[in-house]
Amino acid sequence: MARATPKSPKPAALPESSVTQPLAQTGLVPIEKNGEPSAASRFRIFIVDSGWNSAARRVLHENFALIRDLQKEDPIYVLSRERSIEFMRRHGSRIGRDPIIAVHDMQALEKSGTAGFHGFRLSLGLLHTPEQALLGLQAFARFLVTHRNSADLEADIRAGLRREGLTGAIEIVMQHEAREIGV
Amino acid sequence: MLDRFGEVVSLVLGVLAIGYLVYEIDRRQRKLHDIWDVLDGEDAVLTAALEDMVERGELQPFAGAALA
């Protein structure tokens, strides 16, 4: 379990321009490889955050630099607050689940379009404590790095979810038993 | 008689323990699926909208260290 929270030089607020923050305003530059924008990335990462004052949001902001460094190969697109709110209004069932990190698997998109599996989404806002949110972010980064060359990302995700569910349940049972015997 | 009773109690406790484990696994997996979810046909419109914004240049990738 992670104890320390790696931090960016300063906690920052999400940019709030109308669509997305122009690069000139943010001081950020497009990702480039050999002078060319990285068009051949396996993943495209989108962050939707309407701005709830939540632990998950703070954790995301404080660790964004590290996430960025770990995912150098993949472009990260941050929707503005206005655009994120517009998104939430259209998809009301997702209110309160943000920050949401959506990952598009470009390989799957090119192969079969949006009809079938084409990526995954982490609803960070459902993790209510900083520790949970940090673990979620770490799992997200780990998964992307270790599955960059996966031939069947969908199977990997589903297998991972099954395994985590099983492991979690066993942990709970073990903790319950430990409490019962006074450990 | 007591032996029989003990066997029944053990059996019931065993069934309860297995039931609890199955319930816990299912609950955990549902929760995980809420937090981690795959994008499929149900998300087609949203995915297309985001990709469209990228193609139109409305969304630009971040390359800096921190959100500002």
Q: Of all residues in chain A, what percent carry a pLDDT higher than 70?
A: 66
Total count of domains within chain B: 1
Domain that includes residue B15, residue range: 2-56
Nearest CA in chain B to A87: B46
**Rounded Cα distance, B24 and B39, in Å:** 25
Question: Is residue B12 within 8 angstroms of chain A, CB to CB?
Answer: no
| Mean pLDDT of the B32-36 span | 83
Say what the pLDDT of residue A11 is.
38
| Mean pLDDT of the A11-25 span | 36
Residues near B62 by beta carbon (within 8 Å), at least 6 away in sequence? A26, A28, A68, A75, A76, A77, A78
Residue-wise pLDDT for A116-127, tens only, equals: 888 889 999 999
Q: Are A47 and A77 in contact (CB under 8 A)?
A: yes
In a domain, B18, yes or no: yes
Q: Are B36 and A121 in contact (CB under 8 A)?
A: yes
How many contacts, defined by CB atoms under 8 Å, are there between A and B?
161
In a domain, B62, yes or no: no
From the list A38, A124, A125, A129, the residue with the least C-alpha distance to A75 is: A38
Question: Is residue B34 within 8 angstroms of chain A, CB to CB?
Answer: yes
In a domain, B27, yes or no: yes
- Which bin fits A182, alpha (ψ -120 to 50), beta or left (φ > 0)? left
| Mean pLDDT of the A134-145 span | 88
Residue-wise pLDDT for A88-133, tens only, equals: 888 888 888 889 999 999 888 888 888 888 888 999 999 989 998 9
Sign (positive/negative) of CA torsion A139, B29, A84, A77? positive
Q: Structure pTM?
A: 0.70
Q: Residue B50 is inside which H or E element, if any?
A: helix B44-56
**A100-105 and A36-37 beta bridge pairing:** unpaired
- CATH 1.20.120 at A23-150, yes or no: no
Provide the residue ranges of all domains of chain A, joining segments of one domain with +. 23-150, 152-183
Give the nearest partner residue to B28 out of A22, A154, A169, using CB atoms. A169
The question of ipTM being above 0.90 is answered as no
Give the nearest partner residue to B29 out of A113, A117, A162, using CB atoms. A162
Task: Tell me the nearest-neighbour CA distance from B3 into chain A, angstroms.
Answer: 25
